[in-house]
Amino acid sequence: MSDGPLVLGIETSCDETGVGIVRGNTLLADAVASSVAEHARFGGVVPEVASRAHLEAMVPTIERACETAGIRLDDVDAIAVTSGPGLAGALLVGVASAKALSIGLGKPLYGVNHLAAHVAVDQLEHGPLPEPCLAMLVSGGHSSLLKVEDVTVGVDPLGATIDDAAGEAFDKVARLLGLPFPGGPHIDRVAASGNSVAIDFPRGLTARKDLERHRFDFSFSGLKTAVARWVEAQQRDGVTIDVADVAASFQEAVCDVLTRKAIDAATTYGIEDILIGGGVAANSRLRAMATERAEARGIRVRVPRPGLCTDNGAMVAALGAELVKRGRAPSALDLPADSSQPITTVVA
């Protein structure tokens, strides 16, 4: 274990079968097989299709990861797996596979929280996490602000979305605009040629009255409805919709609220480092705006590269390695897949 523990991480909470291998903070392999193309025609992830795809992809993805890392399975010090939150059937495939490896190899098993893994992955790119740090996780299923003292022990939720997740809003608005699923990357691309101040879309939960109860919470469903109404009104008037302008103005509204609240939370708690994770952290405007606004207030921003922001096995392995390094107790072998594992439970 000269450079840290060698850990294999498995991620199957949604539509990506991810197998990552790390040694300490060093990424050795990050194999991902996605079933996203199989869900595209449904406009969203179909759980049963995702589970079946995980089952088919699991063994080849493990083999590919080992080959890339240049290791044999019995070299690993521990197996880590996402135990929740996520789609129950999809999680089950990963958890069952991890248990089989753990028993077969005689290595400890860590069932970890998907969101904590999105935080821990940044260690692979930027080194040990600043403690404390303010983590903003924005994905297809979650939008949360978390105070993180030690990611292996627990996180302190400060706020979350009260309706749609940020990624969900991107996906729904993309659908409205006739862009393919998942919509986030398409909005990002199309928005680059649009005018971000063309339409003044609402910023959810930023009015004075909302700040009293929901200062660090988010709401994106009103924004999604506002975009829908705007598009309908244009269509009614027979006006051709400028997709780039709508995408850019929508993206600006989301990024404005996310960065404002993250910086407000960091400032309130005296935290000097913001970490952004989850699929939406791949958004180019969010990365630029957060960095610019935070730096103006002396706050540092860390965002992993886009490939590590979306779901992958490396993030699970990264958290697993940190757990081993800090001597945290592994999970029991009757570890369940918990589709609603709370953010406060890092190891199940």
Q: Binding residues for ligand KG4, per CB under 6 A?
A: 14, 139-141, 167, 170-171, 182-185, 188, 278-280, 282-283, 310-311
Region near Zn ion per CB under 5 A, out of 36-44, 55-63, 290-298, 311-319: 311-319
- CB of residue 45 vs Zn ion: minimum separation in angstroms? 12
Q: Return the one option of Zn ion, ligand KG4, none that residue 185 interacts with (CB less than 5 to 8 A, by type).
A: ligand KG4
Q: Return the one option of Zn ion, ligand KG4, none that residue 283 interacts with (CB less than 5 to 8 A, by type).
A: ligand KG4
Quote the CA–CA distance of 18 and 209 in Å, as a whole number.
43
- Encode the chain in three state secondary structure: CCCCCEEEEEECCCCEEEEEEEECCEEEEEEEEECHHHHHHHCCCCHHHHHHHHHHHHHHHHHHHHHHHCCCHHHCCEEEEEEECCCHHHHHHHHHHHHHHHHHHCCCEEEEEHHHHHHHCCHHHHCCCCCCEEEEEECCCCEEEEEEEECCCEEEEEEEECCCCHHHHHHHHHHHCCCCCCCHHHHHHHHCCCCCCCCCCCCCCCCHHHHHHHCCCECCHHHHHHHHHHHHHHHHCCCCCCHHHHHHHHHHHHHHHHHHHHHHHHHHCCCCEEEEECHHHHCHHHHHHHHHHHHCCCCEEECCCHHHHCCCHHHHHHHHHHHHHCCCCCCCCCCCCCCCCCCCCCEC
Residue 311 in the binding site for Zn ion (CB under 5 A): yes
Q: Which is nearer to Zn ion, 116 or 290 (CB)?
A: 116
Region near Zn ion per CB under 5 A, out of 3-11, 18-26, 191-199, 305-313: 305-313
Q: Which is nearer to ligand KG4, 51 or 102 (CB)?
A: 51
Residues 121-150 that bind Zn ion (CB under 5 A): 139
The per-residue b/e assignment along 122-136, b for 16 or more CB within 10 angstroms, e otherwise, is: bbbeeeebbebbbbb
Q: Which residue is nearest to Zn ion (CB)?
A: 139
- CB of residue 15 vs ligand KG4: minimum separation in angstroms? 8
Q: Which is nearer to ligand KG4, 29 or 282 (CB)?
A: 282
Q: Return the one option of ligand KG4, Zn ion, none that residue 5 interacts with (CB less than 5 to 8 A, by type).
A: none
Q: Which is nearer to Zn ion, 24 or 86 (CB)?
A: 86
Q: Residue 238 — left, alpha, or beta (φ > 0 → left; ψ -120 to 50 → alpha)?
A: left
Q: Return the one option of ligand KG4, Zn ion, none that residue 216 interacts with (CB less than 5 to 8 A, by type).
A: none
Q: Which is nearer to Zn ion, 15 or 264 (CB)?
A: 15
Q: Return the one option of ligand KG4, Zn ion, none that residue 110 interacts with (CB less than 5 to 8 A, by type).
A: none
Q: Which is nearer to ligand KG4, 89 or 184 (CB)?
A: 184
- CB of residue 217 vs ligand KG4: minimum separation in angstroms? 19
Q: Return the one option of Zn ion, ligand KG4, none that residue 20 interacts with (CB less than 5 to 8 A, by type).
A: none
- CB of residue 270 vs ligand KG4: minimum separation in angstroms? 28
Q: Return the one option of Zn ion, ligand KG4, none that residue 245 interacts with (CB less than 5 to 8 A, by type).
A: none
Quote the CA–CA distance of 84 and 338 in Å, as a whole number.
5
- CB of residue 260 vs ligand KG4: minimum separation in angstroms? 17
Residues that bind Zn ion (CB under 5 A): 139, 311
